[in-house]
Amino acid sequence: MSSTELGAYGLRLPGLPGEEWLGAAPASWPSWTMRQLLDPAYDAPQIVTPTLARVQLQPTGMAEIDRIQHTTTIHSSRPAPAAAWAHPLLASTAVMTAEWAGRLAFHAGAFLDDHGRAWGLIGDRGMGKSTALAWLAAHDHPVLSDDLLITDGREALAGPRCVDLRESAAETFGIGADIGVVGTRRRWRVKLPPIHATCRFGGVIALGWGSTIRATTLPIAERAPMLRANRGLLVGQDHPMPWLHILAAPMIEFTRPQDWRAIDDAMDRLLEAVNGIQRPLAWAG
Protein backbone atom coordinates (compact mmCIF):
# COMPACT_ATOMS: atom_id res chain seq x y z
CA MET A 1 0.00 0.00 0.00
CA SER A 2 1.14 3.54 -0.70
CA SER A 3 1.94 5.76 2.25
CA THR A 4 0.13 8.59 0.43
CA GLU A 5 -3.34 7.19 1.01
CA LEU A 6 -5.77 9.44 2.84
CA GLY A 7 -7.23 9.11 6.29
CA ALA A 8 -7.44 10.45 9.84
CA TYR A 9 -7.43 9.28 13.48
CA GLY A 10 -5.45 6.12 12.73
CA LEU A 11 -7.62 4.94 9.81
CA ARG A 12 -7.14 4.84 6.05
CA LEU A 13 -10.43 5.91 4.47
CA PRO A 14 -10.47 5.03 0.76
CA GLY A 15 -13.33 6.53 -1.21
CA LEU A 16 -14.62 8.69 1.63
CA PRO A 17 -16.74 11.59 0.30
CA GLY A 18 -15.08 14.94 0.88
CA GLU A 19 -11.60 13.43 0.82
CA GLU A 20 -10.09 16.91 0.54
CA TRP A 21 -10.54 17.15 4.31
CA LEU A 22 -8.31 14.12 4.97
CA GLY A 23 -4.55 13.92 5.43
CA ALA A 24 -1.87 11.44 4.46
CA ALA A 25 -2.34 8.06 6.14
CA PRO A 26 0.47 5.52 6.73
CA ALA A 27 0.09 2.07 5.19
CA SER A 28 0.21 0.62 8.71
CA TRP A 29 -3.17 2.16 9.52
CA PRO A 30 -6.11 -0.20 8.92
CA SER A 31 -8.35 0.50 5.95
CA TRP A 32 -11.92 1.41 6.90
CA THR A 33 -15.04 1.80 4.74
CA MET A 34 -17.85 4.22 5.55
CA ARG A 35 -21.19 4.03 3.77
CA GLN A 36 -24.74 5.28 4.17
CA LEU A 37 -28.12 3.55 4.06
CA LEU A 38 -31.18 5.75 3.77
CA ASP A 39 -33.39 4.06 6.32
CA PRO A 40 -35.66 6.46 8.24
CA ALA A 41 -37.32 3.54 10.03
CA TYR A 42 -34.06 2.05 11.35
CA ASP A 43 -34.32 1.59 15.08
CA ALA A 44 -31.84 -0.35 17.18
CA PRO A 45 -30.51 0.04 20.69
CA GLN A 46 -27.15 1.69 21.31
CA ILE A 47 -24.53 -0.93 22.17
CA VAL A 48 -20.79 -1.19 22.61
CA THR A 49 -19.20 -4.64 22.41
CA PRO A 50 -15.68 -5.90 21.60
CA THR A 51 -16.67 -6.23 17.93
CA LEU A 52 -19.70 -4.00 17.25
CA ALA A 53 -21.00 -0.60 18.29
CA ARG A 54 -24.18 1.28 17.53
CA VAL A 55 -23.96 4.97 18.35
CA GLN A 56 -26.73 7.56 18.10
CA LEU A 57 -25.85 10.50 15.84
CA GLN A 58 -26.92 14.10 16.32
CA PRO A 59 -29.39 15.42 15.35
CA THR A 60 -30.71 12.12 13.94
CA GLY A 61 -29.47 8.76 12.69
CA MET A 62 -27.21 6.01 13.91
CA ALA A 63 -23.70 4.77 13.13
CA GLU A 64 -23.20 0.99 13.16
CA ILE A 65 -19.47 0.32 13.51
CA ASP A 66 -18.27 -3.20 12.70
CA ARG A 67 -14.78 -4.09 13.94
CA ILE A 68 -14.66 -7.39 12.04
CA GLN A 69 -15.68 -5.99 8.66
CA HIS A 70 -13.86 -2.67 9.13
CA THR A 71 -17.06 -0.92 8.07
CA THR A 72 -19.23 1.87 9.39
CA THR A 73 -22.82 2.11 8.17
CA ILE A 74 -24.63 5.39 8.68
CA HIS A 75 -28.39 4.85 8.98
CA SER A 76 -30.29 8.08 8.37
CA SER A 77 -33.22 9.57 6.51
CA ARG A 78 -31.30 12.08 4.37
CA PRO A 79 -28.10 11.80 2.32
CA ALA A 80 -25.13 13.25 4.16
CA PRO A 81 -23.34 16.09 2.33
CA ALA A 82 -19.75 15.41 1.31
CA ALA A 83 -18.48 17.94 3.86
CA ALA A 84 -20.02 15.95 6.73
CA TRP A 85 -18.13 12.67 6.33
CA ALA A 86 -14.65 13.58 7.58
CA HIS A 87 -16.23 15.79 10.24
CA PRO A 88 -18.45 15.20 12.15
CA LEU A 89 -19.61 11.75 10.91
CA LEU A 90 -16.16 10.15 11.27
CA ALA A 91 -15.95 11.00 14.97
CA SER A 92 -17.98 8.08 16.34
CA THR A 93 -15.96 5.60 14.28
CA ALA A 94 -12.72 7.23 15.42
CA VAL A 95 -13.74 6.93 19.07
CA MET A 96 -14.69 3.27 18.75
CA THR A 97 -11.64 2.20 16.76
CA ALA A 98 -9.47 4.01 19.31
CA GLU A 99 -11.13 2.01 22.08
CA TRP A 100 -10.60 -1.28 20.25
CA ALA A 101 -6.96 -0.39 19.55
CA GLY A 102 -6.25 0.35 23.23
CA ARG A 103 -6.08 4.13 22.79
CA LEU A 104 -7.95 6.84 24.66
CA ALA A 105 -10.28 9.36 23.05
CA PHE A 106 -11.18 12.75 24.48
CA HIS A 107 -13.49 15.55 23.40
CA ALA A 108 -10.64 17.94 22.69
CA GLY A 109 -8.88 19.92 20.03
CA ALA A 110 -5.12 19.52 19.67
CA PHE A 111 -2.22 21.61 18.41
CA LEU A 112 1.56 21.34 18.21
CA ASP A 113 4.03 23.44 20.19
CA ASP A 114 7.36 24.64 18.84
CA HIS A 115 8.94 21.28 19.77
CA GLY A 116 6.40 19.31 17.70
CA ARG A 117 4.55 17.99 20.76
CA ALA A 118 0.76 17.58 20.66
CA TRP A 119 -1.27 19.38 23.33
CA GLY A 120 -4.94 18.60 23.89
CA LEU A 121 -7.40 21.41 24.62
CA ILE A 122 -10.25 20.29 26.87
CA GLY A 123 -13.10 22.21 28.47
CA ASP A 124 -16.85 22.31 28.80
CA ARG A 125 -18.95 23.68 25.96
CA GLY A 126 -18.53 27.42 25.80
CA MET A 127 -14.97 27.40 27.16
CA GLY A 128 -13.52 28.58 23.84
CA LYS A 129 -11.85 25.48 22.39
CA SER A 130 -12.83 26.32 18.81
CA THR A 131 -11.87 29.97 19.28
CA ALA A 132 -8.42 28.95 20.53
CA LEU A 133 -7.98 26.62 17.56
CA ALA A 134 -9.16 29.36 15.20
CA TRP A 135 -6.53 31.72 16.59
CA LEU A 136 -3.85 29.06 16.22
CA ALA A 137 -4.86 28.31 12.62
CA ALA A 138 -5.03 32.01 11.74
CA HIS A 139 -1.52 32.53 13.14
CA ASP A 140 -0.02 29.51 11.32
CA HIS A 141 0.43 27.29 14.37
CA PRO A 142 -0.08 23.59 13.50
CA VAL A 143 -3.51 22.24 14.50
CA LEU A 144 -3.62 18.46 14.88
CA SER A 145 -7.37 17.95 15.32
CA ASP A 146 -10.56 19.90 15.82
CA ASP A 147 -12.66 18.09 18.40
CA LEU A 148 -11.05 14.71 19.15
CA LEU A 149 -7.76 13.89 20.81
CA ILE A 150 -6.83 10.24 20.23
CA THR A 151 -3.69 9.11 21.99
CA ASP A 152 -1.96 6.25 23.77
CA GLY A 153 -0.22 8.77 25.99
CA ARG A 154 2.96 8.68 23.92
CA GLU A 155 1.68 9.65 20.45
CA ALA A 156 -1.37 11.55 19.25
CA LEU A 157 -3.12 10.92 15.94
CA ALA A 158 -3.91 13.61 13.38
CA GLY A 159 -7.55 14.37 12.69
CA PRO A 160 -9.19 15.68 9.50
CA ARG A 161 -7.51 18.71 8.02
CA CYS A 162 -10.17 21.21 8.96
CA VAL A 163 -11.49 23.25 11.86
CA ASP A 164 -15.17 24.18 12.02
CA LEU A 165 -15.92 27.59 13.54
CA ARG A 166 -18.95 29.53 14.63
CA GLU A 167 -19.76 32.74 12.78
CA SER A 168 -18.32 35.05 15.45
CA ALA A 169 -14.90 33.39 15.38
CA ALA A 170 -14.85 33.23 11.57
CA GLU A 171 -15.65 36.95 11.35
CA THR A 172 -13.15 37.93 14.03
CA PHE A 173 -10.22 36.12 12.42
CA GLY A 174 -11.33 36.55 8.81
CA ILE A 175 -11.06 32.83 8.05
CA GLY A 176 -13.39 29.98 7.17
CA ALA A 177 -15.89 29.27 4.40
CA ASP A 178 -19.60 28.93 5.17
CA ILE A 179 -20.51 25.28 4.48
CA GLY A 180 -24.06 25.57 5.81
CA VAL A 181 -25.67 23.40 8.45
CA VAL A 182 -23.71 20.20 9.01
CA GLY A 183 -24.74 18.00 11.91
CA THR A 184 -26.38 20.17 14.55
CA ARG A 185 -25.16 23.63 13.52
CA ARG A 186 -24.04 25.98 10.79
CA ARG A 187 -20.28 25.85 10.26
CA TRP A 188 -17.52 28.02 8.86
CA ARG A 189 -14.78 25.62 7.80
CA VAL A 190 -11.07 26.36 7.79
CA LYS A 191 -8.80 24.21 5.63
CA LEU A 192 -5.71 23.09 7.56
CA PRO A 193 -2.32 22.37 5.98
CA PRO A 194 -0.83 18.86 5.94
CA ILE A 195 0.65 17.52 9.16
CA HIS A 196 2.41 14.37 10.36
CA ALA A 197 -0.05 11.52 10.87
CA THR A 198 1.30 10.89 14.38
CA CYS A 199 2.97 13.37 16.73
CA ARG A 200 4.59 13.03 20.12
CA PHE A 201 2.12 13.63 22.94
CA GLY A 202 2.95 16.66 25.06
CA GLY A 203 0.17 17.11 27.57
CA VAL A 204 -3.29 18.56 28.17
CA ILE A 205 -4.61 22.09 28.68
CA ALA A 206 -7.88 22.61 30.55
CA LEU A 207 -9.50 25.85 29.39
CA GLY A 208 -11.50 28.16 31.62
CA TRP A 209 -12.56 31.77 31.99
CA GLY A 210 -11.12 34.13 34.59
CA SER A 211 -10.42 37.78 35.30
CA THR A 212 -6.71 37.38 34.48
CA ILE A 213 -4.52 35.31 32.18
CA ARG A 214 -3.09 32.47 34.23
CA ALA A 215 -1.43 29.11 33.52
CA THR A 216 -1.27 26.71 36.48
CA THR A 217 0.14 23.18 36.53
CA LEU A 218 -2.47 20.83 37.95
CA PRO A 219 -1.39 18.27 40.55
CA ILE A 220 -1.76 14.64 39.48
CA ALA A 221 -4.64 14.05 41.92
CA GLU A 222 -6.80 16.60 40.06
CA ARG A 223 -6.09 15.36 36.55
CA ALA A 224 -8.05 12.10 36.32
CA PRO A 225 -11.50 13.56 37.17
CA MET A 226 -11.06 16.35 34.62
CA LEU A 227 -9.89 13.96 31.92
CA ARG A 228 -12.67 11.46 32.60
CA ALA A 229 -15.25 14.21 32.28
CA ASN A 230 -14.00 14.79 28.72
CA ARG A 231 -13.85 11.19 27.52
CA GLY A 232 -15.10 10.48 24.03
CA LEU A 233 -16.73 7.25 25.23
CA LEU A 234 -18.47 6.76 28.56
CA VAL A 235 -17.90 3.01 28.65
CA GLY A 236 -14.61 1.20 28.30
CA GLN A 237 -11.53 3.43 28.03
CA ASP A 238 -9.91 1.27 30.72
CA HIS A 239 -6.41 1.07 29.24
CA PRO A 240 -3.92 1.24 32.13
CA MET A 241 -0.72 2.17 30.32
CA PRO A 242 -2.21 5.03 28.25
CA TRP A 243 -3.82 6.41 31.40
CA LEU A 244 -0.51 6.23 33.27
CA HIS A 245 1.30 8.04 30.46
CA ILE A 246 -1.35 10.76 30.19
CA LEU A 247 -1.62 11.34 33.93
CA ALA A 248 2.16 11.61 34.20
CA ALA A 249 2.35 14.16 31.38
CA PRO A 250 1.99 17.90 32.10
CA MET A 251 -1.55 19.20 32.55
CA ILE A 252 -2.17 22.93 32.65
CA GLU A 253 -5.25 24.81 33.81
CA PHE A 254 -5.38 27.92 31.64
CA THR A 255 -7.75 30.79 32.40
CA ARG A 256 -8.20 34.07 30.56
CA PRO A 257 -10.82 36.83 30.24
CA GLN A 258 -13.84 36.15 28.05
CA ASP A 259 -13.01 39.13 25.86
CA TRP A 260 -12.00 39.15 22.20
CA ARG A 261 -9.58 42.00 22.95
CA ALA A 262 -7.57 39.74 25.27
CA ILE A 263 -7.19 36.76 22.96
CA ASP A 264 -3.82 37.71 21.44
CA ASP A 265 -2.19 38.18 24.83
CA ALA A 266 -3.86 35.05 26.18
CA MET A 267 -2.76 32.78 23.35
CA ASP A 268 0.76 34.18 23.36
CA ARG A 269 0.94 33.37 27.08
CA LEU A 270 -0.38 29.86 26.50
CA LEU A 271 2.22 29.16 23.82
CA GLU A 272 4.94 30.57 26.04
CA ALA A 273 3.84 28.23 28.83
CA VAL A 274 3.81 25.02 26.77
CA ASN A 275 6.96 25.83 24.81
CA GLY A 276 8.81 26.38 28.07
CA ILE A 277 8.01 22.95 29.49
CA GLN A 278 10.93 20.55 29.36
CA ARG A 279 9.79 16.98 29.73
CA PRO A 280 11.98 14.83 31.99
CA LEU A 281 13.91 11.79 30.77
CA ALA A 282 10.99 9.50 31.61
CA TRP A 283 9.28 10.75 28.46
CA ALA A 284 12.26 10.36 26.16
CA GLY A 285 11.80 8.23 23.05
Residue 89's contacts (CB-CB under 8 Å, 6 or more residues apart) are: 34, 57, 63, 74, 80
CA distances (Å), origin 187, targets 74, 98, 110:
21, 26, 19
What is the DSSP annotation of 230-271? TBS-SS----HHHHHHHHHS-EEEEEE-S-GGGHHHHHHHHH
Q: How many CA atoms lie less than 13 Å away from 134 in the CB half-sphere?
A: 23
Return the amino acid letter for 191. K
What is the pLDDT at residue 40? Answer: 79
Identify the structural domains of the chain with CATH numbers, from first to last. Answer: 5-102 (no CATH), 106-283 (3.40.50)
Rounded Cα gap, residues 49 and 65, in angstroms = 10
Rounded Cα gap, residues 205 and 123, in angstroms = 8
72-91 pLDDT, tens digit per residue, is 999 999 999 999 999 999 99
The verdict on pTM exceeding 0.75 is yes
- Quickly count: other Cβ atoms within 10 Å of residue 183's Cβ: 16
Question: Residue 88, preceding bond cis, omega within 30 degrees?
Answer: yes
118-164 pLDDT, tens digit per residue, is 999 999 888 889 899 999 999 999 999 999 999 999 999 999 999 99
- Split at pLDDT 50, 70, 90, the class of 234 is low
46-64 pLDDT, tens digit per residue, is 999 999 999 999 888 999 9
Q: Using alpha carbons only, what angle is made at residue 75 by residues 71 and 37, rounded to the nearest 5 degrees?
A: 75
Instruction: Give the residue with greater pLDDT, 125 vs 209.
Output: 209
